[in-house]
Each structure stands twice: as C-alpha cells, then as structure tokens.
Amino acid sequence: MFFNMNPLIPYSIPVKGLRNGTHSFAFHIDRAFFSQFEDTPVTEGKVDVTLVLDKRPDMFVLDFDFAGTLQTDCDRCLAQIDLPVADTQRLLVKFSEEEVVEEADVIYVHPEIQQFNVATYIYEYIILAMPIIRVYDCRSEVNRPCNEEMLQYIQQSEAEEEETERNPAWDELKKLNKNDN
C-alpha cells in the first residue's frame, strides 16, 4: 500500500498540547520545501528559520526569524547566484468561532484548533524578503559568481553611451529640438 504523505506535515505545530508560554521551533528550508509550492519563483535555496511561538489564552504570537540564500539569476550579469536573504516577521493568530476577514499580519482560527501549519507563512515571508532587484555585493567572495563577459559588455555599453552624450553633434541637435518649441 502506498501512502501519500504530505511533505509539509513537519511544519505543523501541535498547538492543542502546548502549555501557555513561549516555545521555539527550528526549520531548515531547501529544494524539497520550495517544490511544494506551485509557480514558485524559487526552486533552490537554503534558509534556516527560527520560530518562537508565544501561546497565550486568547491568541498565539508567532515571531519568525530567518536567514539564508536563494538561488536565482543575477539581474546585473545573469549568472546563477546565491542571493542572501534575511528577515523577521510577526504573525498574530487570534481565536474566533465565526469567519472573520483576515488582515496582513493577523489571522483567525477556531479556538479548538489542534495543529497550526506554518509552511505557507514561512514560504510567503521568504519570497517577500527577496529584493526586487536581485544583486548583491559579491566582490569580497573568493569565487565570484559573476559572468565577467557580461559585465565587460555592460561597462563597454555604458562607456559608449557616455561618449555619445558628450558628442558635440548631439548638443547641436538638442538645440534644434529646443528651437522647434
């Protein structure tokens, strides 16, 4: 018999059996984790997550702290890089027997909840921590991941553009454009 075990079960916290107070959990996020999310912009990474859950009689306060790297293409030179990411996030989990509209950092669960799965929140926080422009200062690394050929091409293009801007012929053309107005 084949059992289809949910790979995100390790991210379920048995909140019903926890006493009030703080509890710490550690998770290591890698390729297997990211593969569980459809259309993910990240397929490879190594991120360590520490979760401190403060269980209170009326709610849970979850503090996520993570750091690691995500494999992506550099926006500067197009080489594969291990982009550093780190962040801290707080999630409030309040109790309600009725359906309540969730907010960005506040969600509502039934008071008799047995387990609380944090996988989706970990995933979202990691993805949101990725910078829009995916570059980092890699000059101090021994083995720079940069595509040096692409960087030389960019420098050459910038130099040519700068030279074009200093060309007196362009200055005369710009004057003609101003006279048309």
Question: What is residue 164's predicted lDDT score, i.e. its pLDDT?
Answer: 61
Which parts of the chain have pLDDT scores under 50? Answer: 1
Distance of alpha carbon 169 from alpha carbon 152, whole angstroms: 27
Six-digit token pair at 103?
């907010």
Question: What is residue 135's predicted lDDT score, i.e. its pLDDT?
Answer: 79
Place of tokens 């710490």: 24
| Residue ranges per structural domain of the chain | 9-144, 147-181
Residue type for position 115: Q
Question: What is residue 1's predicted lDDT score, i.e. its pLDDT?
Answer: 47
If you count them, how many residues does the chain have?
A: 181
Six-digit token pair at 135?
């570059």
Question: What is residue 181's predicted lDDT score, i.e. its pLDDT?
Answer: 55
**171 three-class SS:** helix
Q: What is the pLDDT of residues 79-120, one digit of tens each?
A: 888 899 999 999 999 999 888 887 888 999 999 999 999 999
| Cα end-to-end distance, the chain, whole Å | 81
Average pLDDT, the chain: 86
Question: What is residue 179's predicted lDDT score, i.e. its pLDDT?
Answer: 62
Distance of alpha carbon 69 from alpha carbon 82, whole angstroms: 5
Place of tokens 């006279």: 179
Alpha helix (H) residue ranges in the chain: 31-34, 119-129, 148-165, 168-180
